[in-house]
Protein backbone atom coordinates (compact mmCIF):
# COMPACT_ATOMS: atom_id res chain seq x y z
CA UNK A 1 0.00 0.00 0.00
CA UNK A 2 2.79 2.44 0.82
CA UNK A 3 4.32 1.77 -2.59
CA UNK A 4 1.04 2.79 -4.26
CA UNK A 5 1.03 6.09 -2.40
CA UNK A 6 4.56 6.70 -3.70
CA UNK A 7 3.19 6.86 -7.23
CA UNK A 8 0.98 9.77 -6.25
CA UNK A 9 3.87 11.56 -4.55
CA UNK A 10 5.75 11.49 -7.85
CA UNK A 11 2.91 13.46 -9.44
CA UNK A 12 3.11 16.00 -6.61
CA UNK A 13 6.87 16.42 -7.04
CA UNK A 14 6.65 16.83 -10.81
CA UNK A 15 3.84 19.38 -10.57
CA UNK A 16 5.80 21.25 -7.87
CA UNK A 17 8.64 21.55 -10.36
CA UNK A 18 6.13 22.87 -12.91
CA UNK A 19 4.99 25.35 -10.23
CA UNK A 20 8.58 26.54 -9.72
CA UNK A 21 8.99 26.89 -13.47
CA UNK A 22 5.80 28.95 -13.71
CA UNK A 23 7.02 31.28 -10.96
CA UNK A 24 10.03 32.14 -13.14
CA UNK A 25 7.79 33.65 -15.83
CA UNK A 26 7.23 37.21 -14.67
CA UNK A 27 4.52 37.85 -17.28
CA UNK A 28 2.38 34.94 -16.04
CA UNK A 29 -0.33 36.00 -13.60
CA UNK A 30 -0.16 34.08 -10.30
CA UNK A 31 -3.87 33.21 -10.44
CA UNK A 32 -3.21 30.85 -13.38
CA UNK A 33 -0.47 28.84 -11.68
CA UNK A 34 -2.81 26.55 -9.66
CA UNK A 35 -4.80 25.91 -12.84
CA UNK A 36 -1.65 24.94 -14.72
CA UNK A 37 -0.55 22.66 -11.86
CA UNK A 38 -4.00 21.04 -11.64
CA UNK A 39 -4.17 20.35 -15.36
CA UNK A 40 -0.60 19.03 -15.36
CA UNK A 41 -1.42 16.78 -12.41
CA UNK A 42 -4.54 15.48 -14.12
CA UNK A 43 -2.58 14.60 -17.23
CA UNK A 44 0.13 12.93 -15.16
CA UNK A 45 -2.52 10.96 -13.26
CA UNK A 46 -3.86 9.48 -16.49
CA UNK A 47 -0.34 8.78 -17.74
CA UNK A 48 0.46 7.10 -14.43
CA UNK A 49 -2.61 4.90 -14.72
CA UNK A 50 -1.46 3.59 -18.11
CA UNK A 51 2.27 3.30 -17.37
CA UNK A 52 2.37 2.10 -13.75
CA UNK A 53 0.80 -1.33 -13.35
CA UNK A 54 0.26 -0.81 -9.60
CA UNK A 55 -1.25 2.69 -9.81
CA UNK A 56 -3.92 3.13 -7.09
CA UNK A 57 -6.82 3.48 -9.55
CA UNK A 58 -7.74 1.77 -12.80
CA UNK A 59 -10.21 4.26 -14.28
CA UNK A 60 -9.55 7.59 -15.98
CA UNK A 61 -11.81 9.77 -13.84
CA UNK A 62 -10.30 8.73 -10.50
CA UNK A 63 -6.79 8.93 -11.93
CA UNK A 64 -7.45 12.47 -13.12
CA UNK A 65 -8.91 13.38 -9.73
CA UNK A 66 -5.84 12.05 -7.92
CA UNK A 67 -3.58 13.95 -10.30
CA UNK A 68 -5.53 17.20 -10.00
CA UNK A 69 -5.51 17.08 -6.20
CA UNK A 70 -1.79 16.30 -6.23
CA UNK A 71 -1.16 19.21 -8.60
CA UNK A 72 -3.18 21.64 -6.53
CA UNK A 73 -1.39 20.49 -3.39
CA UNK A 74 1.93 21.14 -5.09
CA UNK A 75 0.82 24.66 -5.94
CA UNK A 76 -0.13 25.34 -2.32
CA UNK A 77 2.77 23.45 -0.68
CA UNK A 78 4.94 26.53 -0.95
CA UNK A 79 2.46 28.51 1.17
CA UNK A 80 2.40 25.80 3.85
CA UNK A 81 6.18 25.82 4.21
CA UNK A 82 6.31 29.58 4.92
17 contact partners, CB below 8 Å, separation of at least 6: none
**pLDDT: is 6 or 63 the higher one?**
63
44 contact partners, CB below 8 Å, separation of at least 6: 11, 14, 15, 67, 70, 71
What is the per-residue pLDDT for 1? 46
pLDDT tens digit sequence for 19-45:
999 989 888 888 898 999 999 999 999
Amino acid sequence: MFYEIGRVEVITVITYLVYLGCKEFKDLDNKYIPLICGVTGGILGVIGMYTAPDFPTKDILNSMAIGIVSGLFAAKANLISK
